Amino acid sequence: MTNCGRLIQTCGMARTLVAVAAGVVLVSQASAAAARAPTLEPLVAEADRVWQLSEMGDVVGAGNRCEVLVRAADALRASGKLEMARDYYRRAALVRPWDLDTKVRFAEALLQIGDADAARSMAGQVQTFAETDRLLDASRALAGVVPLPELPTVASLAPQAGEVVLGLVCAPNTDHWMPGEVGRRLSGLLGVRVGLVAAPFVLGKPDRTGRAQLAEELRRSLPWTEQRMTLYVPGGKLVPPQFLSDDAVISVMRKLVEHDGGPEQIQSFRAQLALADAQQNWDVSRLLSDLGQSNVQPSQGKVVYLALVPVDLFSGSTDFLFGSASPTGNYGVVSFCRFAASFTGEPPKRARLVDRLCKQMLSTAGFALGVPRCGDLRCARSYPRSLAEHDAKGAGLCPECRAGFAKVLGHALPAGE
Ligand SMILES: [Zn+2]
């Protein structure tokens, strides 16, 4: 055989191998489709029944079962049936418009189909309302949004003599978009330079947990001196509850409820325990002390360090705080935990979250600089006893607070706020 002949034969073999391989691929695709078909068809049929509810005017009923529409859309998209997937995403978006996660995938499907304008518009909704890095990052490129430049580092903003600079400090779980948006607003309101502390603010473990509080409540309320308690207390002897660990006290309660209570009481205790396990709070005094130790003052001028933390704060007997400043000044901690839609159950709205945060940061920054407390309801610095009061008060500063800031900052505040 000539070289040429060998080559042709080799090419022929190669073609055969390719054809066989292609066949394997086709067979495997066909079997995958066959394996998918039985699950896809009933899912789409179920989604059609949900959509029928909406067609018949029961939008609430359809909204309650929206996840079926979303599952069908996701499965159709995974199977390459993009046009059908688009229809089911559209239906899901009609009955549950605030499901931003689904809107991201809807936008991705629209882009796959080649409808870039619709994809950009859908992702734009997510960009407007999302409160988390996860959703903002997933939708940014689809929406064609260029991210804002990061704040400069505080280290690069050495204050001049007499100058006050704000240094924003983030916890590892603080969303990255937050210091940029809030910092720029504060800079405009107060006429100060704002920078970001590069090192994350490590919060450590919670200083108070719901489980510890529940155990304390049980130490006070259970009949610890009654003889029947020997059935439940470890060791079978009556022991003052202060000698028992939190877990032991809770275990006594569990045994008591399971022995003496009915199904409803058992259910109720389990629910109470689950709630307690979800509750974790950080002592703002400790955080302020840690913040001061990890961020020293510059050799000239001043940096007011404000930490933005995602955790719930408490102090002494005060159950929760939106923020607090060090009594000796220069340091403040602000929590966005209770401002976020994930906590309040509201639909997400980043502009509202930024408004809430900025009011609290103006308040805390004022205290960190020695600006007196304010009671003017039109002012961002008036004290709120609840989130409703925090929302109701004004977003700007009253004349007294403006004058107070001007005095401690050494310059008049920018006009218009
Ligand atoms: Zn005021």
CATH code assigned at 304: 3.40.390.10
Expressed in angstroms and rounded, the spacing between residue 375 Cα and the centre of ligand 1 is 7
| Residue 370 placed within a domain | yes
- One domain, residues 326 and 375: yes
Q: How far apart are CA 153 and CA 261, in angstroms?
A: 59
Query: Within a domain: residue 70?
Result: yes
Helix axes 246-260, 263-278, angle to 10 degrees: 160
Distance 393 CA to ligand 1 centre (A): 10
Contact status, residue 54 vs residue 62, Cβ threshold 8 Å:
yes
Question: Is the domain of 267 the same as that of 381?
Answer: no
The CA-CA-CA angle for residues 74, 97, 99, to 5°, reads 55
Q: Say if residue 64 is in the same domain as residue 187.
A: no
Q: What angle do CA 164, 306, 167 make, to 5 degrees?
A: 45
Query: Is 274 contained in some domain?
Result: yes
Low-confidence ranges of the chain (pLDDT < 50): 1-36, 417
Q: Which amino acid is present at 127?
A: Q
* 146: DSSP letter: P
Q: How far is the CA of 372 from the centre of ligand 1 (A)?
A: 9
Expressed in angstroms and rounded, the spacing between residue 408 Cα and the centre of ligand 1 is 15
Q: Can you give the residue range of the structural domain that contains 260?
A: 208-280
227 and 311 share a domain? Answer: no
Q: What is the CA radius of gyration of the chain?
A: 30
> At 259, is the secondary structure helix, strand, or coil?
helix
> pTM of this prediction?
0.82
For the chain, give percent helix, strand, coil, nearest 5: 60, 10, 30
Please indicate, yes or no, if residue 415 is contained in any of the structural domains. no
* Residue 367 CA, ligand 1 centroid: distance in Å: 12
Determine the distance separating the centroid of ligand 1 and the alpha carbon of 316, expressed in angstroms. Answer: 26
Q: Assess contact for 365 and 186: CB atoms under 8 A.
A: yes
CA of residue 166 to ligand 1 center, whole Å: 19
Say whether both 56 and 99 belong to one domain. Answer: yes
Q: Is residue 193 domain-shared with residue 263, that is, in the same domain?
A: no
Q: How does pLDDT run across 79-136, given as a tens digit for each residue?
A: 999 999 999 999 999 999 999 999 999 999 999 999 999 999 999 999 999 999 999 9
Residues 44, 175: one domain? no
261 lies in the same domain as 168 = no
- For residue 102, give the CATH number of its domain: 1.25.40.10
How far apart are alpha carbons 155 and 174 in whole angstroms? 20
**Residue 391 CA, ligand 1 centroid: distance in Å:** 15
For residues 357, 358, 360, 366, the Cα torsion angle rounded to the nearest 10 degrees is: 150
Pairing of strands 302-309, 164-170: parallel
Same domain, 319 and 176: yes
Let me know whether 45 and 191 are in one domain.
Answer: no
Task: Express each pLDDT in 279-307 by its tens digit.
Answer: 899 999 999 999 999 999 999 999 999 99
- pLDDT of 235 reads 86
How many structural domains compose the chain?
A: 3
Distance of CA 226 to CAs 39, 147, 229, 233, 346, Å?
59, 65, 6, 11, 47
